[in-house]
Structure 1
């Protein structure tokens, strides 16, 4: 029974205290802080004006909105959590019904003019007029302005689509010197929101926070490392180029005398041109750093152009009369190919007993095609492996 009465008394005390925090208490507190004390938001809230005010800044990232390679810009959404002690906004909770904290519009209290130093857009105040600051009885002020931050970022697209980008967000008290305000980071890294908005092209790898001291100012640098998700580019850019390059190489497996070889090689080359027209808007558009994938595509187009020229020349030579002498180099290729084929045969053709004029143009072109097939295939494999190794291993 005694325990029951003690519980009832405790609950009465708790709820009675809560009920005593009426609107009158809040109104009296506002009057005391902003009217009776003659609070001035233009005055730095330190009783000792010779001591700099410490301001702690925490950045919470909500999501990456986009990365612009041409404008060298990172667009990120998030909010700052800025805390400082306002010695002119403190009170005794017992004098106001146990009231321990209040909310007040951000434009009606003193706050540091923190802004994004490396911002891409014009300099403007953080937050909005409808945002309020939280003030507790000890004078601790908590300000959480939400913003879409557009910062300058050096975008290096050399290793597209396996590239990583390191971007900085520098926050500084623009008009206050280090003698007035000392800005420090509240965490060692950027905080990620619980409901972090995922970007379809970029993912966050890591982040750091660092204090930087300039000549007359202090600032906080938040660094974010993001990596491009390569799957889309691999499936839509790289794989089609690889397949078209393989088709180009197998041009030399089509006999030049069939009449379909020129149509085939021109069709493949036109497929290159059409494909590049489609993907041109998706590739990084910057002259500061040329992507390796662009160099690789140009190499494959160059090889495809050479194959078209060779096929055209071979088509012309295929219609020459057998009375026309075959070039010495072609005769050499043809004799070597004939000897290899003969070594695999059980019978030796009578043509071996004849002189070099036995080699026809068609036989010489066929021998040349075998060599060119392996040469082009080797160039294709080596260029592909080198490009993938340079682009992929650089960011592992």
Structure 2
């Protein structure tokens, strides 16, 4: 503890000595000498035929808001701008060791940086509140910041597992490329995210800083954001999955309960509610639409078909039991149960057995023929309705499984 106090005291003496070396008169004299014949209207180049290089480094602090419906993204960020002004150089030893000091941007030449794809009005980046740091070598460092809004092309195809890419384009306004140009910092192709604060809805995957396709006069800043999908999985996808499983169970519900139609219509209305919830999070654009929207449309169509088939099976169940089941209904049931696929095999076996019987004595042929005659089914309408219920339940469970597998594959791809 004793050594720490001594070290702190020595450091304090060194800093106090350095601070005492620079007096107010030194700063006043330096300011007077630098700005005696200074003009803010002339670019800081000895040879005005050469462009003034303004080095830029973009800073990203947070994603303030991203409205996918309107396609507007707003971020809090800033720009580190550096350039050289040969008129503002001095020798520190002649002015009490002053190596740098802040100054208002109104006093010196400052590049006009504009965001050229704003979501509202077009304004210059940085106000007079952001001061410029001057160094004795003539290097100027200015770090303006603010809230920047721009339009973003939203692609909701894989919602809620989507990734969005938004671009901010900045340029020097009022200068030709032969006069002044923006130059990204050396060995820098990304934005600075050291002080970035994470967003609750979006995860920052990466950033890109490059020259725009327009030309070297514009620097494009790209932000790639990936949606945090857990909220939508729990509050949207999970209920839809459970409702999809409940939908075919209407065919298991006893007919005597009298709740079949109301059950199927309730499931149908639930899907309609989820369609409205998803549409609220979607931009009013048809290209491209979300896979989930197509999926819900197909699910609602399936739910509509289930409502219709529920009414049909109820109609069959309560038909007069004294009337015979028509051959058309029998045929449709056999087709749905895939029994028609086994019919040729059964017929071949039956014909082979009959040919064996033909070789038997004619006295026994009639009895044997009767033995191999196909018995007639005494089906009632209630049994037919129950058979349809069981068949429809298996079919729709299979359709639900296929739907979700295809949805997962399309989102992953």
TM-score class, shorter: 0.7 to 0.9
SS at match of 2:47: coil
Cα-Cα RMSD: 2.6
Residue 145 of structure 2 corresponds to residue 124 of structure 1: no
Give, in angstroms, the shift of residue 353 of structure 1: 8.2
Which sits farther off after the overlay, 40-49 or 283-292? 283-292
Distance (Å, rounded) in 1 between the aligned partners of 2:65 and 2:96: 49
Distance 1:290 1:327 in 2: 46
Q: List gaps (5 residues or longer) in structure 2.
A: 1-9, 340-372
1:168 aligned residue: 167
| Map 1:235-274 → 2, pairs under 5 A | 235-274=234-273
Contact 1:334–1:363, Cα closer than 8 Å, also in 2: no
Per the alignment, residue 111 of structure 2 pairs with 112
Show the counterpart of 1:5: none
Q: Tell me whether 240-249 or 20-29 shows the greater mean CA deviation.
A: 20-29
Q: Is the 8 A contact 1:205 1:226 kept in 2?
A: yes
- The number of residue pairs the alignment matches comes to 368
> For 1:148, what is the secondary structure of its paired residue?
strand
Q: 1:191: Cα distance to partner? A: 1.0
Q: Does 1:152 align with 2:151?
A: yes
Q: How does 1:126-145 map to 2 (within 5 A)?
A: 126-145=125-144
SS at match of 2:63: strand
Q: CA deviation at 1:326?
A: 2.4
C-alpha contact 2:313 2:388 (8 A) present in aligned 1: no
SS at match of 2:193: strand
2:199 counterpart residue number: 199
Cα deviations by residue, 1:346-386 (Å, 9 ceiling, x for unpaired): xxxxxx98634x21111111111222112111111111111
Matched, 1:355 2:346: no
The unaligned stretches of length 5 or more in structure 1 are: 1-8, 340-351
Partner of 1:30: 31
Distance in 2 between residues matched to 1:213 and 1:321, nearest whole Å: 76
Distance 2:146 2:250 in 1: 57
Instruction: For residue 313 of structure 1, report the CA deviation from its aligned partner.
Output: 1.9
Task: Report what 1:6 is aligned to.
Answer: none
Which residue matches 2:391? 371
Bigger radius of gyration: 2
Task: Report deviation, 1:329.
Answer: 4.3
Residue aligning to 1:381: 401
**CA 1:255 to 1:55, structure 2 compared with 1: closer, same or farther past 3 Å?**
same
Q: Is the 8 A contact 1:334 1:359 kept in 2?
A: no
Structure-2 separation of matches of 1:188 and 1:271? 48
Contact 1:330 1:365 in 2 (8 A): no
> Do residues 184 (structure 1) and 205 (structure 2) align?
no
Give the CA deviation at 1:229. 0.8
TM-score of the pair, normalised by structure 1:
0.86
Summarize the Cα distance change of 1:55–1:327 in structure 2 as closer, same or farther, 3 Å threshold: farther
Contact 2:68 2:283 in 1 (8 A): yes
Match of 2:312 in 1: 313
Aligned partners of 1:61 and 1:76 also within 8 Å: yes
Deviation of 1:252 (Å): 1.5
With 86-95 and 137-146 compared, the bigger mean Cα shift is at: 86-95
Change (3 A) 1:177 1:368: same
CA distance, structure 2, for counterparts of residue 310 and residue 65 of structure 1: 50
> Cα distance 1:174–1:270, how it changes in 2: closer, same or farther (>3 A)?
same
